Amino acid sequence: MINQLVNNIKKLDAPIVVGLDPMLDYVPEYIKKSAFAEYGETLEGAAEAIWQYNKGIIDATYDLIPAVKPQIAMYEQFGVPGLVAFNKTCEYAKSKGLVIIGDIKRGDIGSTSKAYAVGHVGKVAVGSKTYSGFCEDFVTVNPYLGSDGIRPFMEVCKEEKKGMFILVKTSNPSSGEFQDQQIDGKPLYEMVAEKVAAWGDELMGDSYSYVGAVVGATYPKMGEALRKIMPKSYILVPGYGAQGGQAKDLAPFFNEDGLGAIINSSRGIICAYKQDAYSQFGEENYADASRQAVLDMKEDLKQAWVK
């Protein structure tokens, strides 16, 4: 999968992932109206609305982007119907040729991590049969529990040729509370990055590893240091756009080959129609606004990664 991700990025000249993080407030009224007419103001109605909203965005952008990143919390808030919408979204995006990065941020004791890995990027055995519960190509993983929380994801990813992005330095304001703590003269996030590089060496694709990292766009200086520590790991970079990360700061996240980083934008793309810059599209054409926002992001990012 890392090879497909790299190939998609090269083919489209777009190190971009669109975050599918639907809140009901983002969904245009006409979509909600039709979903509620069919299912009522229920969890099913909400799930139908976010699914229709996502479908519109995928249809309008799939030819421009290599990947999407559905954030599972946005779906889980609607319970089981929400999870059905998550799965439908992943399957539909996959049918359009997109790589799916499941933003699930899991990680637990070994046996539990194994179940997460099997469910999201592997296959579960039921009697003599096996099934893919969900169909992501990559997942985000929390490394707080250490190696035995990561290894089950590595084993499943090796078997299935899938991948993961391990949280190294997150984009949020409080990320330093723990991640920046100095241990033996080194920040914790650098220690995690060294482990990511070592785990990644065990699972190499053609040029990049199956084991990637998450580093926030909001910490470009740290991104520069981390790029060097993990040369073979793809870096998933959230925080561009809505969280204030800017293209001019993103160059250090890329390698000399112009690869090695994929920049996420969620609200900046899926809620584009609500922004002044795209107000001419109107609610009915929210998906066209998202398409324009992707084109603008691609142009904006050129200053960061075109060598």
Ligand X SMILES: O=C(O)c1cc(=O)[nH]c(=O)n1[C@@H]1O[C@H](COP(=O)(O)O)[C@@H](O)[C@H]1O
Site residues (CB under 6 A) for ligand X? 19, 21, 71, 103, 140, 170-172, 214, 216, 238-239, 241-243, 264-268
Question: Strand pairing partners for 213?
Answer: 166, 235
Nearest to 156 by CA among 106, 227, 93, 91: 106
SS3 131: strand
Nearer residue to ligand X within complex by CB, 45 or 262: 262
End-to-end CA distance of the chain: 25
Which residues lie closer than 8 Å to 191 by C-beta, 6 or more apart? 183
CB atoms within 10 A of CB 88: 17
Return the H-helix or E-strand segment holding 39. helix 29-39
Describe the chain by its helix, strand, coil percentages, rounded to 5: 55, 20, 30
Smallest gap from Cβ 171 to ligand X, in A, equals 4
Q: Which is nearer to ligand X, 45 or 290 (CB)?
A: 290
- Let me know: does 135 contact 94? Beta carbons within 8 Å: yes
**Shortest gap between Cβ of 21 and ligand X (angstroms)?**
5
Q: Which is nearer to ligand X, 209 or 265 (CB)?
A: 265
Beta-strand relationship, 129-131 and 124-126:
antiparallel
* Nearer of residues 73 and 198 to ligand X, judged by Cβ: 73
Options 105, 161, 274, 298, the catalytic residue = 105
Whichever of 103 and 136 has its CB closer to ligand X, that residue is 103
- 212 is written with which tokens? 């990637």
Tell me the closest approach of the beta carbon of residue 104 to ligand X, in angstroms: 9
Q: Which of 211, 273, 292, 294 is CA-nearest to residue 17?
A: 294
Active site includes 298?
no
- Residue 29 is encoded by which pair of tokens? 């009224």
In the complex, the smallest distance separating the C-beta of residue 269 from ligand X, rounded to whole angstroms, is 8
Give min distance, CB of 294 to ligand X, in A. 13
Tell me which residues are annotated as active site: 105
